[in-house]
Amino acid sequence: DSADKGEYRHFMLKEIYEQPRVIKATMEGRVTKTRVLEQALGTEAENLLDNVRHVQIIACGTSYHAGMVARYWIEELAGVPCSVEVASEFRYRKHVIQQDTLFLCISQSGETADTLAALRQAKKAGFRAALGICNVPGSSLVRESDLVIMTQAGPEIGVASTKAFTTQLTALLIFTLALARHNGLPEEKETEIVEAIHRLPGQVSDVLALDGEIAEMSKAFMDKNHSLFLGRGSQFPVALEGALKLKEISYIHAEAYPAGELKHGPLALVDSEMPVVTVAPNNDLVEKLKSNLEEVRARGGELFVFADKLAGVKPEEGIHVMQLPSVHPITAPIVYTVPLQLLSYHVAVLKGTDVDQPRNLAKSVTVE
């Protein structure tokens, strides 16, 4: 029962633990063992996907971070240019609409005022079609979109979004593969990624098994006032999401930066009072990331690194390393989000905040 915390102390923790199951539910009926089932995206999907030349993503909050990850996927796998913008900015500026642009709204609730306002504008403005990624059946976003992909997260009660985010990413990756198929992605590549999607529930479960160690790690954050989250490539939005979680529920100031920007500002803030959290899957940016970590260490910053066990990031004085399973670089953002959710959760519990109902925040912002 979604309105019941069951054995868990908070809805947020329950929802974090539901992720293997709801990611699987979001895949169900949309992928075979090796391919994406395009028909499952709706009868209009084939015609639409053939004609999309650009994607404009609009969302708010955590859903915006899902959109930022999707941009890396859409450009890398489908080769289709993609822009992402927060709804409250998009709706109040003049924008140039390129021909055959798909307007893609991401919203857990389907009722966020700014996202709906942007969608209503877009429908008047000449976008090719509106696709909604949403978790609430019958919501305004679902009713007003031309095509909808429902996430199967089930009701999310905790204000800080967790399972909605990872299921949004799952749905967005499946959509990306369908779009990529229409844009020349080789069948073997599609199969390779679909197989990686099938491994996600198991990999997320493996990360959940690190909960005790992450709870231990969280003690280092309890008395800190500031923190910095670093990631490169598609892990930059994961760092943003990790920082958002920490500020939402523990009230610790958290900033996220693409690791390459470190020396253009945030390095000036780094000292022993500023923990630096980094996500480091074993992708082609890991060597560059390691040199960013050296820069932090040289300034006395304490590092907390979530790294692929094969990435060669070694624990030493001031560098705490938590080893994560080896994952496909494309699905890595989904897996690497989970330890950051747990980290924020445990810091908030230690600080005694109201985890499920953080001060000043609402689950769904339905008025401007």
The three-class DSSP label of residue 134 is strand
Nearer to ligand G6P, 109 or 227 (CB): 109
| Alpha carbon distance 237, 56 (integer Å) | 17
Stretch that binds ligand G6P, among 43-51, 207-215, 287-295, 356-364 (CB under 6 A): 356-364
User: What is the pattern of x (binds ligand G6P, CB under 6 A) and - over residues 112-141?
Assistant: x--x--------------------------
Nearer to ligand G6P, 46 or 144 (CB): 144
Burial of 6 (0-12, 13-18, 19+ CB in 10 A): exposed
Concatenate the DSSP letters of all residues of 304-347 into one string: EEEEETTS----BTTEEEEEE----TTTHHHHHHHHHHHHHHHH
Nearer to ligand G6P, 268 or 362 (CB): 362
Do the Cβ atoms of 303 and 317 come closer than 8 Å?
A: no
Q: In the bound complex, what is the minimum distance in angstroms from residue 357's beta carbon to ligand G6P?
A: 11
149 in contact with ligand G6P (CB under 6 A):
no
User: Which of 19, 107, 218, 283 touches ligand G6P by CB under 6 A?
Assistant: 107
Q: In the bound complex, what is the minimum distance in angstroms from residue 140's beta carbon to ligand G6P?
A: 11
2 in contact with ligand G6P (CB under 6 A):
no
Nearer to ligand G6P, 215 or 365 (CB): 365
Nearer to ligand G6P, 253 or 363 (CB): 363
Nearer to ligand G6P, 111 or 195 (CB): 111
> 187-208 and 19-27 helices cross at what angle (nearest 10)?
160
Stretch that binds ligand G6P, among 221-229, 235-243, 250-258, 357-365 (CB under 6 A): 357-365
Q: In the bound complex, what is the minimum distance in angstroms from residue 313's beta carbon to ligand G6P?
A: 30
User: Which of 62, 203, 282, 283 touches ligand G6P by CB under 6 A?
Assistant: 62
Burial of 204 (0-12, 13-18, 19+ CB in 10 A): buried
Q: Which two tokens stand for residue 63?
A: 């859903």
173 in contact with ligand G6P (CB under 6 A):
no
State which residue has the least CB distance to ligand G6P.
Answer: 61
| Alpha carbon distance 169, 256 (integer Å) | 19
Which sign does the torsion angle of CA 173, 179, 184, 190 carry?
A: positive
* Distance (Å) of CA 344 to CA 117, 139, 161, 353: 32, 29, 12, 11
Q: In the bound complex, what is the minimum distance in angstroms from residue 59's beta carbon to ligand G6P?
A: 6
Do the Cβ atoms of 10 and 158 come closer than 8 Å?
A: yes
User: Which of 21, 95, 123, 363 touches ligand G6P by CB under 6 A?
Assistant: 363
| Alpha carbon distance 60, 331 (integer Å) | 22
Q: In the bound complex, what is the minimum distance in angstroms from residue 62's beta carbon to ligand G6P?
A: 3
| Alpha carbon distance 91, 121 (integer Å) | 7
Residues near 140 by beta carbon (within 8 Å), at least 6 away in sequence:
110, 111, 116
Q: In the bound complex, what is the minimum distance in angstroms from residue 249's beta carbon to ligand G6P?
A: 11
Phi, psi of 320, rounded to the nearest 5 degrees: -95, 125
Stretch that binds ligand G6P, among 71-79, 91-99, 102-110, 330-338 (CB under 6 A): 102-110
The three-class DSSP label of residue 366 is coil
365 in contact with ligand G6P (CB under 6 A):
yes
Run of H or E including 149: strand 147-150
Q: Which two tokens stand for residue 277?
A: 């959290």
User: Which of 271, 300, 361, 366 touches ligand G6P by CB under 6 A?
Assistant: 361
63 in contact with ligand G6P (CB under 6 A):
yes
109 in contact with ligand G6P (CB under 6 A):
yes
Does residue 363 carry a catalytic annotation? yes
Nearer to ligand G6P, 298 or 361 (CB): 361
Question: Given the rule CB under 6 A, which residues bind ligand G6P?
Answer: 60-63, 107-109, 112, 115, 159, 161, 361, 363-365
Residues serving a catalytic function are 363
